[in-house]
Structure 1
């Protein structure tokens, strides 16, 4: 494909991503489902060039930033509290699913070696961070359940990738050493943690010496790829290295980055993540074309591979239910025996957790990386795509309905200080600081306006904390008036600029001030600015 054609195709895909997002919003579907189906449909449009996906490029290009974004915004306190449950899902469920799928695949295709069956199990076993985030962003879950799903999606790829590599090697050489595989898994995981921590620490030292905001945002963006590539180069888990670096950087960014850099970086990062997520789901749909053409058409796919793919897809979904049900039974038994730290989720939360097992980019990329001579490679590719399609479209589009039906309750105790009280504490601290500097050494008031500004804010937030709901209803019209005033100022600024009475630099400077003022009001009003 000519470079210009490549650029045209990428631009077409981005335009399609925007259109499919709008369509998903109108139809109340998860964007991932619309993008996947839309990509599959676009792949067979006459005249569109075939798109060849390099699996290694997919993993390196898409996986690090999407994993890093999830890790950066991880609620680390809940992640640490629920780490045993997260590991049960990220390691236990993946291994259990892989083994059960391997047994079912061997039953369906007895000529397929067990090691190759295990490779198929490793391909389809880990739920995907990208698919999970695309759905979780649209639903409201109890905090423990949210922590379990987010943590699982960050860590389970490492389990699946390590198992896959050992299974492929065992298939090609004809032997598999379980002890060696387990030992190497822990080495890869611990090595990934060490590499991610070291890369994040070095990166933060570099950022402290940068004074240009654009360079800070650019170098921070490179951190995810640096952690992943260094981890893979040192033969440890690049996935774990990326997640570790993201969690550490997310923890320290509050004191490390200036506010203006956070605003710029957040806007840039949201755009980058949207673009990557949209492209990867469309490209997954496009990959179906190559698989169908290689196998010999839809008729051949349906006639020879559809039944095994469907059986394995159902197996993937059921094994998650079985593992979570078994874990619930174990926790309930331990709780009944007197172990107070054992806390079952309850059938409502367990049901939602069982249904939230969407697969995505890792499953596809790993399947495409199978050697050309691998036994039953086409079956594995079709099965991988079937698992992605069914879980993203069926589970992703119905997860919201399942949550509404089961109504899982948030039984975790809330943090001792709620949002209104925290705002009041911050406002009080600011007022006390203003009070200290408002008077000179002889007690003479030097800055009355400063003192009055922060006093009124402190009093207002205390009233808000005392009765948040009623206070917001009363003050909302005040915020609306403030937004109207800002709009008038913006209109006057544009009038001056359009008449040629101010320079462009003046327009941009004052417009930035108005934008920051408007965003602050929107956040205070409770809107998603």
Structure 2
């Protein structure tokens, strides 16, 4: 029963964090609020303690979150920025492990070199979820945000692979760079292939078996998609490949497969709403769990250091400050070198490319927020060596990693708004191509209506043909109005937008009246709940379409 109550309390905390955010006088990032809630729940008098099992955490929380990120991230931009992403996700990770590992060992001689490398490995991955929660959407330039998200998707795998070899070196005292390189390539490639294959195989199951049809309840198929990231992660880990990359590639494949014609739009709506809820709940649980761990880890380390004297407490804080400065210095220098090389290459081809601006460099540097994977990785360090002796430096590594996570979050919370001050909120970086796509889609719809009308009237008498022509004119008029609204001429576009606003208000008033009437009929026992729910869902979908269209037109 204790586990059940703990889960219910955590779910309540996630819900309250989302509701309470709007009540705060100062707008704070949701991840920070959730960490604070977790820290409050860890207060001894409340008696809530959750043992952080790294393996269970990695299996339960990481696959669905990475699957959702892989599903959502734009593939075109990911491919366009592939060079920068790979240089950050691979190059920067391995540079960080090497340089920071030696730096930590030199700063803390009592920490063995393999443990220093392991700490550097867990500090190298970044967390895009925390970054999005802190910065908000459409605030950081789109190209930079795509790079940071792509980096966070890929560097979890490279950081954890580096951690694996660091732990092996700590336990056995043996390390081979050649074996590590070959192993990493096999692990990464295998994970990508396994995840994509599992996602493809599941979504290729016959539609009848998955109930992916308009007449059936698609719940079974939607539940099956929830199992895909876990299956990809478990299978990949079982065969010795990267479960993290398997979850990412499964999400990317799911994005492709979900757009097939055999999957109805109603199923896609159900999947989208389900995964939106899962992502919110799991993200919230992750940050609340982080908050639950920090007081115990940091408080215990400070108490033990205080027993050895105040100088030891100051030394601990000095270690954290030096580690944070070293991390950000490495990231800044690496990003500056990458952008400098890119600008030089562009200049050789006769393309004007300005030197990297300090604001962009600073955003990229501070955007490297550390999160849950870092804590899970450092807590997975073995307690003892193979001979039974305790692993020296483990507790200090856990303290430094936890403090660095907090420090990176606080730096981002304070620094990102300052760096973005004076920059207008990005309305829609792809407004031009969205307008073009809407025009093309409307033109295609008009042509299809015209062709379908000609086929329908062939078998109709004069009266039926007239009714068909009226119906076609009404439907076609909607698309012609849309084309006017998306046109280049100012006067017709303004008039069409005003008409759209009036039409939207009328439609919303009609929907509210329908909803009120349905509720009145249910209260009078004229219709039952089943009929009410069916009709209310139709109204909700109609209202959602109107609201989304209104937002889309406002953004463009």
Same fold (TM over 0.5): yes
Structure-2 change in CA distance of 1:94 and 1:341 (3 Å): farther
Counterpart residue number, 2:398: 381
Structure-2 change in CA distance of 1:91 and 1:503 (3 Å): same
Question: Could you tell me whether the CA contact under 8 Å between 1:23 and 1:34 is conserved in 2?
Answer: no
Question: Could you tell me whether the CA contact under 8 Å between 1:66 and 1:129 is conserved in 2?
Answer: no
Please give the alpha-carbon distance, in whole angstroms, between the structure 2 residues aligned to 1:381 and 1:14.
27
Matching of residue 324 in structure 1 with residue 335 in structure 2: yes
| Alpha-carbon shift at residue 194 of structure 1 (Å) | 1.4
Structure-2 change in CA distance of 1:293 and 1:347 (3 Å): closer
Q: Pick from 260, 263, 287: which aligns with 1:257? A: 263
Counterpart residue number, 2:478: 457
Matching of residue 17 in structure 1 with residue 42 in structure 2: no
| Alpha-carbon shift at residue 203 of structure 1 (Å) | 1.2
Structure-2 change in CA distance of 1:234 and 1:519 (3 Å): same
Please give the alpha-carbon distance, in whole angstroms, between the structure 2 residues aligned to 1:376 and 1:465.
63
- Range moving further from structure 2, 10-19 or 288-297: 288-297
Question: Could you tell me whether the CA contact under 8 Å between 1:143 and 1:410 is conserved in 2?
Answer: no
Matches within 5 A, 1:346-425: 346-373=357-384, 374-405=391-422, 418-425=433-440
| Alpha-carbon shift at residue 114 of structure 1 (Å) | 1.9
Matches within 5 A, 1:509-528: 509-526=534-551
SS where residue 175 of structure 1 aligns?
coil
TM, length-normalised to structure 2: 0.88
Question: Could you tell me whether the CA contact under 8 Å between 2:41 and 2:48 is conserved in 1?
Answer: no
Structure-2 change in CA distance of 1:522 and 1:133 (3 Å): same
Please give the alpha-carbon distance, in whole angstroms, between the structure 2 residues aligned to 1:151 and 1:518.
34
Matching of residue 210 in structure 1 with residue 231 in structure 2: no
Matching of residue 475 in structure 1 with residue 500 in structure 2: yes
Counterpart residue number, 1:244: 249
Structure-2 change in CA distance of 1:292 and 1:442 (3 Å): closer
SS where residue 46 of structure 1 aligns?
helix
Q: Unpaired runs of 5+ in structure 2?
A: 212-216, 307-311, 385-390
Please give the alpha-carbon distance, in whole angstroms, between the structure 2 residues aligned to 1:334 and 1:325.
14
Counterpart residue number, 1:500: 525
TM, length-normalised to structure 1: 0.92
Please give the alpha-carbon distance, in whole angstroms, between the structure 2 residues aligned to 1:226 and 1:215.
16
- Range moving further from structure 2, 465-474 or 107-116: 465-474
| Alpha-carbon shift at residue 355 of structure 1 (Å) | 1.6
Structure-2 change in CA distance of 1:254 and 1:174 (3 Å): same
Please give the alpha-carbon distance, in whole angstroms, between the structure 1 residues aligned to 2:78 and 2:227.
24
Q: Unpaired runs of 5+ in structure 1?
A: none
- Range moving further from structure 2, 14-23 or 188-197: 14-23
Structure-2 change in CA distance of 1:522 and 1:410 (3 Å): closer
| Alpha-carbon shift at residue 32 of structure 1 (Å) | 0.7
Please give the alpha-carbon distance, in whole angstroms, between the structure 2 residues aligned to 1:493 and 1:407.
44
Structure-2 change in CA distance of 1:362 and 1:224 (3 Å): same
Aligned length: 523
Structure-2 change in CA distance of 1:252 and 1:397 (3 Å): farther
Please give the alpha-carbon distance, in whole angstroms, between the structure 1 residues aligned to 2:296 and 2:423.
40
Q: Pick from 293, 306, 318: which aligns with 1:307? A: 318
Please give the alpha-carbon distance, in whole angstroms, between the structure 2 residues aligned to 1:157 and 1:124.
10
- Range moving further from structure 2, 110-119 or 496-505: 110-119
Q: CA RMSD in A?
A: 2.6
Q: Pick from 294, 297, 301: which aligns with 2:303? A: 297
| Alpha-carbon shift at residue 385 of structure 1 (Å) | 0.8
Structure-2 change in CA distance of 1:102 and 1:202 (3 Å): same
Counterpart residue number, 1:286: 292
Counterpart residue number, 1:94: 93
Q: Pick from 467, 478, 489: which aligns with 2:514? A: 489
Question: Could you tell me whether the CA contact under 8 Å between 2:127 and 2:371 is conserved in 1?
Answer: yes
Question: Could you tell me whether the CA contact under 8 Å between 1:127 and 1:153 is conserved in 2?
Answer: yes
Please give the alpha-carbon distance, in whole angstroms, between the structure 1 residues aligned to 2:353 and 2:244.
29
Q: Pick from 349, 355, 369: which aligns with 1:338? A: 349
Question: Could you tell me whether the CA contact under 8 Å between 1:158 and 1:237 is conserved in 2?
Answer: yes
SS where residue 375 of structure 1 aligns?
coil
Question: Could you tell me whether the CA contact under 8 Å between 1:328 and 1:346 is conserved in 2?
Answer: no
| Alpha-carbon shift at residue 402 of structure 1 (Å) | 1.6
Counterpart residue number, 2:447: 432
- Range moving further from structure 2, 316-325 or 468-477: 468-477
Please give the alpha-carbon distance, in whole angstroms, between the structure 2 residues aligned to 1:262 and 1:214.
11
Counterpart residue number, 2:70: 71
Counterpart residue number, 2:387: none
- Range moving further from structure 2, 223-232 or 295-304: 295-304
Please give the alpha-carbon distance, in whole angstroms, between the structure 1 residues aligned to 2:316 and 2:64.
34
Structure-2 change in CA distance of 1:253 and 1:6 (3 Å): same
| Alpha-carbon shift at residue 343 of structure 1 (Å) | 8.9
Matching of residue 270 in structure 1 with residue 268 in structure 2: no
